[in-house]
């Protein structure tokens, strides 16, 4: 069974590009344009990975990750941002990904085997 990724970003172009490329890599992909839509989706669909933007209108990516973890304790959370990572104590529950993203690096990070190598890397 393919790994299921939920991508959350308020930028439609980013959603389209990431979902297309990750599907080519063999992932099962769902997309949401807002954190609130994502939380609704997670009520009925268990994702293995949450890949979210940090800066969105109704909720920050770090808060979305916290709430996603409350719903699914094993979900792996990745937050994308053009900004530097906050203090490690504020983002210990996620892997911070600095934009612009290199797609090959992203795919490597999404691999569960990479957790021990890059967990919470800023």
Say yes or no to pLDDT of 26 above 70: yes
Cα–Cα dist 12/114, whole Å? 28
Q: Contact, 79 vs 95, CB < 8 A?
A: yes
Report the pLDDT averaged over residues 16-21: 96
Domains by residue range for the chain, with CATH: 4-118 (3.40.50.2300)
Distances (CA, A) of 5 to 27, 75, 83, 84, 87: 7, 10, 23, 24, 26
- The pLDDT, as a whole number, for residue 120 is 45
- The pLDDT, as a whole number, for residue 112 is 80
Each residue's pLDDT tens digit, 30-63: 999 999 999 999 999 999 999 999 999 889 999 9
- The pLDDT, as a whole number, for residue 28 is 97
- The pLDDT, as a whole number, for residue 1 is 73
Q: Which structure tokens are listed for 121? A: 């890397």
Say yes or no to pLDDT of 116 above 70: no
Each residue's pLDDT tens digit, 59-101: 999 999 999 999 999 999 999 999 999 888 888 889 999 999 9
| Angle 76-94-50 from CA coordinates, rounded to 5° | 40
Say yes or no to pLDDT of 106 above 70: yes
**Residue in this structure with the two tokens 């009925």, named with its chain if needed:** 44
Q: Confidence class of residue 114 from pLDDT cuts 50, 70 and 90?
A: low
**Residue in this structure with the two tokens 């990745």, named with its chain if needed:** 78
């Amino acid at each position: 069974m393919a790994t299921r990724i939920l991508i959350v970003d308020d930028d439609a172009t980013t959603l389209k590009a990431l979902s297309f490329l990750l599907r080519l890599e063999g992932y099962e992909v769902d997309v949401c344009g807002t954190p609130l839509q994502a939380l609704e989706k997670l009520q009925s669909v268990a994702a293995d990975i949450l890949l979210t933007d940090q800066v969105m209108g109704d909720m920050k990516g770090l808060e979305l990750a916290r709430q996603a973890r409350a719903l699914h304790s094993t979900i792996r959370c990745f937050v994308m941002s053009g900004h530097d990572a906050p203090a490690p104590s504020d983002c210990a529950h996620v892997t911070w990904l600095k934009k612009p993203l290199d797609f090959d690096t992203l795919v490597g990070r999404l691999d569960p085997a990479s957790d021990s190598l890059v967990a919470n890397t800023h």
